[in-house]
Amino acid sequence: MLIRVIKAVIAGYMLTMAVDVAYASDLTVSAAASLTNAFKEITLNYQSQYPDVKVALNFGASGALLQQIAKGAPVDVFASADQETMDAAEKQGLVSASERRNFVKNSLVLVVPNEAKHSKIVLKRLQDLNQAEIKRIAIGNPASVPVGRYTVHALTQNKLWPALESKAINTQNVRQSLDYVARGEVDAGFVYATDAAIMSDKVSIAFEVPLDVAITYPIAPIKESKNMEEARRFIRFLSSPQSLAILRKYGFQQP
């Protein structure tokens, strides 16, 4: 009887150890919505090379992701679509300045639906959005969505934001803006060039929006990560030739 009890205790201990090891190998990556397609493909390669690691991807607006992390969400790696959000993460003590780095850059574009009913509207510059025919413009919520902040910055610089603010349809992230344009629910929308490329059958780029700031994406491991070395390895993997090829395929450029 005593031997059976000892065996049961040992078996239970071994099971607990196995669960702990499995948990330690899990990696959670929170990334800007615009990275969705590229990161999904890169993660498949990563898990193929490191089959003992299970990577969970969490996509959304950079500001919303930061709020999740600040509230204690178990995240190991954070990739933001702007410097401002990562700066906030650093100020809150969530990431270290020495650990963050810029890994890709993007550009801001205005897209329009490919539907025939929108084809008569000609948009070649930001000022053209003042046309009466343009009634609804998808813009990421500038309070939490980097693409929205870039957009408002560009419109403000050109003294257009006060006149266009009433036309703005705020979205939760850049992919929602893209979706609204693709479905023809708005007349135009501001997205990244990489997002426009994945739906070229449904949207067209009217023009690239001139900006006086570079759209660079920083990435960093979270200080409280229980898988710090794994987080660092994933970030290093983004610089591998195969990862860089995937990022280029989706239109991202090197900073």
60-78 tens-digit pLDDT: 999 999 999 999 999 999 9
Q: Do residue 137 and residue 230 come from a single domain? A: no
254 lies in some domain:
no
Q: Do residue 161 and residue 35 come from a single domain? A: no
CATH number at residue 167: 3.40.190.10
Domains in the chain: how many in total?
2
Q: Which pLDDT score, from 0 to 100, does residue 115 have?
A: 80
- Could you report the per-residue pLDDT of 139-163, keeping only the tens digit for each? 999 999 999 999 999 999 999 999 9
What's the whole-model pTM score? 0.85
| Residues spanned by the domain of 189 | 108-208
> CB burial class (10 A; 0-12, 13-18, 19+) of residue 169?
middle
Q: Do residue 151 and residue 200 come from a single domain? A: yes
Integer-rounded Cα Rg, in Å, for the chain is 22
Q: Do residue 12 and residue 78 come from a single domain? A: yes
- For residue 18, pLDDT beyond 80: no
Q: Which pLDDT score, from 0 to 100, does residue 80 have?
A: 98
Spatial CA neighbour of 65 closest among 98, 105, 33: 33
